[in-house]
Amino acid sequence: MAKRKAPEPTKTTSKTKARQFDKAAAKQRVKEIVPILRKTYPNAKVALNFTNPLELLIATILSAQCTDVRVNIVTQDLFKKYTSVSDWVDADVRQIEEDIRTTGFFRNKAQNIKGACTRLAAEHHGRVPQTMDELTALPGVGRKTANVVLGNAFGIPGIVCDTHVIRLSRRLALSDNSDPVKLEFDLADIVPKKDWTLFSHLLVFHGRNVCKARKPNCPECPIAACCPAANRPDRW
């Protein structure tokens, strides 16, 4: 019986090779786009209204699956009613639910807010902590919320990976990760630490105004010359 011929090894072509992420190019791209975006959006900042770290923490928890505009409408009266950690701790959770109902997912949010404030009172003397580990130990607080609070309430650099930052980072080839945590660490490697908070705001502003999800306005984009996806629908 004739021996069967062993199959030849599959040849790997350039098309089958996984695209390798160019970190050096990404870092250079950040260096080029930050000054342009800074000039384009000189007033880029967090869109949530707040006067102290506690208010920003609460507002950020409320912003999950809700627009910043809606949150600001709700917190306008909310922060007059609840002015301290003890106010939230003493409040009936059902009343909190009613007060935040229009932000959506109000039951979970009410539980998280009351739980977070209870922890603040018991473990932090009623003050919002200033470290990632302590913040993410609070109910309802992940890295995104913690970075919002750190960067905007305490001036501690933090990269906030919301939907705009994720989308623009992919289009600008700043990372090959869409997972928020992995992306955060990727961006931290290529964005100067002093610019972390501002960089997040700049991408959010650009994502809302120009580089929109369904149809980015590439012809009017000030950083189109630096963007690998500009005028490339296949990369949107």
Binding site listing: 211, 218, 221, 227
Residue 142 and residue 61: Cα distance in Å, rounded? 9
Binding site membership for [4Fe-4S] cluster: which residues? 211, 218, 221, 227
162 catalytic? Reply is yes
Residue 114's nearest CA partner among 90, 131, 150, 78 is 90
Write down the catalytic residue from 109, 114, 144, 186: 144
Residue 85 and residue 40: Cα distance in Å, rounded? 38
Give SS3 for 4. Answer: coil
Write down the catalytic residue from 68, 162, 176, 195: 162
23 catalytic? Reply is no
Element at 204 (helix H, strand E): helix 196-209
Long-range contacts formed by 66-74: CB under 8 A, 24+ apart: 66/103, 66/104, 66/105, 70/102, 70/103, 71/103, 72/47, 72/48, 73/102, 74/99, 74/100, 74/102, 74/103
Cα dist from 94 to 66, 70, 110, whole Å: 20, 20, 8
Element at 184 (helix H, strand E): helix 180-190
Residues with catalytic function: 144, 162
